[in-house]
Structure 1
Amino acid sequence: MARVKLVKKRQVIDMTAMVDVAFLLLTFLILTAQPKETEILPVDVPSSIVSAGVPDDALIITVGDNGKATLRIKDKSIRKKTLEKMAAKYGILFKEKEKNSFEGMEVFGSPLNQINHLLSLTPIEMEKMKHAGIPTDSIGKMPSELFNWVIEARHTAKEIHFKELQVAIKADGNENYTHVKKIIDILQSQKINRFSLVTNLKTKL
């Protein structure tokens, strides 16, 4: 009796669905990815067991490197308008091109009279620049520059978006407390008694 020869069929796996899912995941990751925040004053924040987050549009004051202070103003329109108010208050002239360049700087940490020079630098030069920090000391009866930056940013937020701008302090865990206390005093002098402290979430072992 003759043996029946079985014909082996080549199996084909349809990968269309898997490719579609892969592209959907890739698109989702690209659209939801957040750019890395600029860190001109890197700090090692203390750990905490509190999981409450800081509002994304909060005004963040970073303190580190022996009392240096930087400021993050998330909203571009608030940032530009606040610079114009600060320029008028201190009698410093900024060209429209410089204002537009400053509008793209989410974080800054230089005295107001050095911002013109800062804006003239290339991105590479700016990255290498060592920022002096926003002055936190008052001069006579004149409040500090940081005081004025904060209060003008808050007023601008009310004018543009009709809402109160939340404030947060991001301090290095090893920073001298007197430097942090100075920032707290500046906020309290503006009757800001509720503000956030940026920390790392401590994981439970």
Structure 2
Amino acid sequence: MKRALELLISCLAILLCSLPMLFIAILIRLKLGSTVIFKQQRPGLNGKPFNLYKFRTMTDDKDENGNLVSDEKRLTNIGMFLRKLSLDELPQLINVIKGDISFVGPRPLLMEYIPLYTADQAKRHDVRPGITGWAQVNGRNAISWEKKFELDVWYVENQSFLLDMKIIYLTLIKVGKQEDITQEGHVTTQKFVG
């Protein structure tokens, strides 16, 4: 039932958001150039890889050695605006339609983090990842990795329809208040190193 409901809501949301998404895509194309959609492989249910879609918020600027410069130097004003309002997440509605992710679940992180998890932290992959989750409404990027994983595992062990509705409601409040978008001292969040 959850999957059928998510499919219906995500299809309706794409229809309702099609004009704003088109406007955002044109703005990104004008300000950042081609490659409007950022695509990156992430672990899904049971750690199975899938391609996550987001609106691009950073440049591809590289240093003299050909390495990408820091996120702080690559994040643009348009990118910061999109992230503050979580508009960069809109293309993930396609991921919901495809069944890669749910509306609510642990956020899909990087593939390179998988071998770094403890057995308990790895439980976050026992459910489909989500656009938002329990960790997002309880600190998002302003809390430690350990706390995020603790909250993710709590969600996995306590998930219910009512909890999902509560998380969606709290997410709308967080987005409205533009809280916990970045980790202190970082424009996004610090890498997880185990």
Instruction: Tell me the TM-score range normalised by the shorter chain.
Output: under 0.3
Higher normalized helix content (fraction of residues): 2
The structure that has the greater radius of gyration is 1
The two structures have a TM-score, normalised by structure 1, of 0.25
The two structures have a TM-score, normalised by structure 2, of 0.26
